[in-house]
Structure 1
C-alpha cells in the first residue's frame, strides 16, 4: 500500500501461492518524505528493523536491529558541514553502545 505522498508504506508476499502472507515490510516516512523506519516481517513478527534520522534532506543516523528484538545491533551517526558534506561519522559496529570506528573528512577548495 502507498500513503498520500506516494511512498510505499507496506508490502506483503505470499511466497508459495497458498493465500497465506508469509513475509512483508512496513515503512514509516517523515513529513519530508524521508524513510524513518523499515521493518521486515516474517510470519507476523518483525525480524529486522532499520531506523533512520534526518536533518532536512541529510541522513544523520541509522540503526539496524538484525533480530527484531528492539535493540540496535549496529548504528551510525553523521554530521555535515554548512555545504551538506559529511565531515564526521561515528559507527557502533556491534551494538554495545561504544563507538568502534570514527571517520573524519576534510575538504580542500582550490582557487
Structure 2
C-alpha cells in the first residue's frame, strides 16, 4: 500500500529539485527525505531519480508517477476538507422529526435563525 507521506515527500523533491530543499519545505532532514523516497522506490519497484555526486535527476518513471501523485494528493486534500466540513456540521444531512404544529410554526423559524447565524 502506498504511503501518502512518501508521495508528498516525492512531490516536494520533484518540485524543488533537491532532497535538501524538499526537506526544508517539509521540515524533514535531508536523510529523512532520502529514506522516504527510497521507500517509495522500493514500494513501487522502480527507480525515480538518477543520483549523482551533486545532482538529482528525475527518471521518466518519476515524471509519470509525479503526474498521478499530484492528482491523487489533490483528491486526498479535497477528501480531508470534506470530512472536516462534515465534522463541523457545515455539510451533511439533517433529519428532523416534529409534530405537525411544531413543524409548521417553530421549525421554519429555527432553521432560518440557524441559516443567518452560520452566514455571519
TM-score > 0.5, shorter chain as reference: no
Give the number of the structure whose alpha-carbon radius of gyration is greater: 2
Larger RCO (alpha carbons 8 Å, 6+ apart)? 2
Smaller-chain TM-score range? Answer: under 0.3
After TM superposition, the score normalised by the length of structure 2 is 0.23
After TM superposition, the score normalised by the length of structure 1 is 0.24
- Pick the structure with more helix per residue: 2
